[in-house]
Amino acid sequence: MKIAISAEMPDLAAQVAQRFGISSYLIIVDSETMEIEALPNPGAAGKQAAGMTAVVIAISKKVDTVLTGYCSPTAMKYLADNGIDVVTGVKGTVAEAVAQYRQQANAIPARSLEKPDFAGAALLPALKRSGMQLVNLLPVFVGVVLLIGLFNALISKDLLSSLFSGNALLDTLFGTGLGSILAGNPLNSYVIGGELLEQGVSLYAVTAFIAAWVTIGLVQLPAEMAALGNKFALIRNALSMVLCIAISILTVVTYYAFSVWDL
């Protein structure tokens, strides 16, 4: 049996990482021979869709079980859909986690190894997770500040005028294309969208850009294809692109209609 354990370091003595998606390593252990393969997790930086990267690794390595401290419902669903059991609440070292799992060979998928005796026992882990999430968000806030400065320094009005002519349909198409390629954190899309409006770019383009930024994401298409299948991923992105164009136009038209009505 192949077991994947989220870990802080690449060996059996490492502590089990509390979050599957952003753990530093995934250690693949053969429970019979105890041979290991330590794989760095590209999603450890905590960027958008970080958990999906760890899911793809687990699926591609054809593991039978994942042991971790916490696994998001979305990641757990994809793992379960691929026949992978998920055991959460795991603590201690990787070696200890594997030994404990082997002793509980009949463990139920997605069941916690350690159940608190009372509700208050979950408070400290919850506070710890909240603190970690805040720490992970700090780079995003710093990135937003830097992004504003870079945008103002590098993007000129002449360049934007050459890309966005003011034609509603063309601006919507260009905005959708730009947003779908440069997928990223939703917060960043609002910053870029605001700067585009400041530079005189039409609302059609900005609305399409924001919608595509948060729904399409061609840069993460390979990971999505590996996790969900080529057909599903391609159809989803194609439909998302069409819907972004339609929704953006309808949103702006509705906005202008209500603006005229208020006047």
Distance (Å, whole) CA 248 – CA 179: 12
Residue closest to 41 by CA, chosen among 84, 69, 5: 5
61-113 pLDDT, tens digit per residue, is 889 999 999 888 888 888 888 889 899 999 899 889 888 888 876 444 444 44
**For residue 247, what are the CA distances in angstroms to 39, 45, 179?**
41, 32, 14
Residue closest to 36 by CA, chosen among 5, 71, 68, 15: 5
What are the start-end ranges of the H helices in the chain?
A: 50-60, 73-81, 94-103, 123-154, 157-163, 168-181, 186-198, 203-215, 221-228, 230-262
Distance (Å, whole) CA 25 – CA 19: 11
User: pTM to 2 decimals?
Assistant: 0.44
Tell me the domains of the chain and their CATH numbers.
2-103 (3.30.420.130), 138-262 (no CATH)
182-191 pLDDT, tens digit per residue, is 656 666 677 7
Average pLDDT, rounded, for the chain: 78
Q: Which two tokens stand for residue 123?
A: 């408070």
